[in-house]
Structure 1
Amino acid sequence: MVDLSNKVMLTIAPVGGYPTKKNNPAVPIDPSEITADIIACAEAGASIAHIHVRDDEGKASMRYDQFKKVVDTVRPKSNIVINLTTSGGTGWPDDVRIKPFVELHPEVASYDCGTMNWQNSCIFENNPQFLEKLGTELQKQEVKPEIECFDPGMIYNAIDLQKRGFLPQGSLHFQLVLGVKGGIAATVDNLVWMHSILPKDCTWGAVAVGKGQLPILYTTLAMGGHLRVGMEDNVMMHKGILAKSNVEFVERAIRLIHEFGKEVATPDEARKILGVKNKTKEILGK
């Protein structure tokens, strides 16, 4: 048996909904660019791909056809764990947000556990009825929810939803997101606080948007959490220096993981940590 206690799941989040090529020319926008980045990051050692897509104008989107292009191209070329967003932009009908994971059968999908003001621009709505519907459908499809929490209240929302049967019983997986305007600030003290109220049997990771990325990355490693990197969260490699690619973020994270005396989880090890089936293997019949 492989000892998974020293393994760190490394998620690549190549694009998200907001960075553009004006922010960094290396930001992948169309499906072919996103796909190429995911495959390259998998080859560099990433365990999981957290996937957003854009529309034809480069704006955040939940277009099923765009998700299908990416997933159908990645799967034959990579064993990386597929994690689809359910929140590509705002204002999408519930069924549009749910369709990609129902049709494409990822191992994981995001579950943003509350409503918030977003970056001084809009309301990021995840109302109670939607969260109940989303959690029910994720369980029906055997897709692991990645519970994204932008403030401590969202952790308590998740605990309540699990008690009421809208999230699966057993170990939940949390992604703590710090530094988004409208959410909790990206400080080490805030990460320690959020970690302290997580369920004891959960798995978890953390990520910070922008300048808080490295302090949160180091602290997450030190506290035994899992990592997420990529241009969804930061287009800068260092202050004033643009990242050359998403692969550069992955390579740096792997160096840090090794310096901490840990190892990067392979995709199959990540599946064991999360307790999910290999959907790629099932779909391709390998």
Structure 2
Amino acid sequence: MKNKVLLTAAVTGAGETTGKSSHVPVTPKEIAESAIESAKAGATVAHVHARDPKTGGISHNVDHYREIVDRIRESETDVVINITAGGGGDFIPSLDTPAAGGDGTDIQTPEERHKPVGELLPEMCTLDCGSVNFGDMIYMSPTDWLRKQAKLIQESGVKPELECFDTGHIRFAKQLVDEGLVDGDPLFQFCLGIPWGADADVETMLYMKSRLPENAHWSAFGIGRMQMPIVAQAAMLGGNVRVGLEDNIYLKKGVLARNDQLVDHAVTMLGGNGIEVMTPQEARELYGLRNPNGGVK
């Protein structure tokens, strides 16, 4: 779709951002409302994590996801729903017991990671395509587990977004495609700037883009101050884009943002470069997403 991009709003994530900004949504009601506001500001896709309403930390509770999804759907606001399927991958190394994780370790099986997707059947979900040093922890996503998870996603009819935090993840994502575990044209996402994954710069994006299959679509996001530069650069290179409080909490230096403000800023910036944002329906048709009312659109 020439001069049109898919714009994702990643509205909350699972990071320790709630103590840094009161705008980060925590409860299912807040997360759903933020997704709705982002859609009204122009987002094509709402990417959602669930948080524990009491602590603000990560939640794997399917009922929390169900409330978020139900609230979005019942609002009759048109937006593609993308649920994370990457939860339960945090391994905190411990020098005292190196064979076991330290405090904060949170590991789920492929079946557990897939459960919210399998029960709620969003149009899209993420699939983190490899392990990586993620700051001071290790995000664990072993290859055999990924094959099992990819199969579960495939059987559910949900479109996976293949999250690549480093170049080796692209290699394995392509292997999943070659093994027939990803249907249709694959969707890749370059996750840039995470310590210690791929850098958030044009050279890295160009290299990652060069390694994709011919029929692939791609998107990219940068964290922190690189969020908007990566939006502009990815769109100009033919990729889709992502903004939101999962990746960056500031509208500009010293000014905390809301999700809808970040979406509005991205829409305006893209429009200034002659690039429009796809509607949810356009995205469903282009990428062969399941109809939110059942089946494939």
Give the TM-score taking structure 2 as reference length: 0.89
In the aligned structure 2, how far is the partner of 1:236 from the partner of 1:107? 29
Q: Which residue of 1 aligns with 2:34?
A: 37
**Cα offsets for 1:246-281 (capped at 9, x unmatched):** 0000101110121111211111011112111222x3
Q: Is 1:258 aligned with 2:271?
A: yes
Which amino acid in the other structure matches residue 84 of structure 1?
I
How far did 1:32 drift?
1.0
Deviates more, 1:136-145 or 1:82-91: 82-91
Counterpart residue number, 1:69 = 67
Q: Could you give the per-residue CA deviations for residues 94-147 of structure 1, whole angstroms, max 9, x where no partner exists?
A: 222111111101111101000111111x22111111111111111111110100
Whether contact under 8 Å (1:150, 1:177) holds in the other structure is yes
Superposed counterparts of 1:127-276, under 5 Å: 127-168=142-183, 170-243=184-257, 245-276=258-289
Check conservation: 1:62, 1:87, Cα contact below 8 A. no
Do the aligned residues in 1 keep the contact of 2:185 with 2:217 (CA within 8 Å)?
Answer: yes
Contact 1:53 1:88 (8 Å CA) reproduced: no
Post-superposition CA distance 1:161-207 (Å, at most 9, x none): 11122222x31001100000121121221111111111121111100
**SS of residue in 2 equivalent to 1:237:** strand
Report the Cα distance in structure 2 between the residues aligned to 1:282 and 1:214, rounded to whole angstroms: 35
Which position in structure 1 is the counterpart of 2:49? 52
Offset at residue 62 of structure 1 (A): 1.8
**Structure 1, 31-40 or 268-277: larger mean CA deviation:** 268-277
User: Residue 124 of structure 2 aligns with which residue?
Assistant: 108
Partner of 1:81: 80
Q: Note if contact 2:235-2:241 (Cα within 8 Å) is conserved in structure 1.
A: yes
In 1, Cα distance between equivalents of 2:285 and 2:242: 18
The 3-state SS of whatever aligns with 2:145 is helix
State the secondary structure of the residue aligned to 1:218.
helix
The percent identity for this pair of structures is 38
**RMSD of Structure 2 on Structure 1 (CA):** 1.4
Any conservation in 2 of the 1:210–1:234 contact (CA below 8 Å)? yes
Counting matched residue pairs gives: 276
Q: Any gaps of 5 or more consecutive residues in structure 2?
A: 91-106
Distance 1:63 1:87 in 2: 14
Structure 1: tracts of 5 or more residues without a match: none
Runs of 4+ in 1 over 3 A off after TM superposition: none
Partner AA of 1:232 in structure 2: E
The answer as to whether partners of 2:21 and 2:249 remain within 8 angstroms in 1 is: yes
Distance 1:13 1:213 in 2: 12
Task: Give the whole-Å Cα distance in 1 for the aligned partners of 2:84 and 2:66.
Answer: 13
Whether the aligned pair in 2 keeps the contact of 1:82 and 1:107 (CA below 8 Å) is yes
Please tell me whether the aligned partners of residues 29 and 54 of structure 1 are also in contact (alpha carbons under 8 angstroms): yes
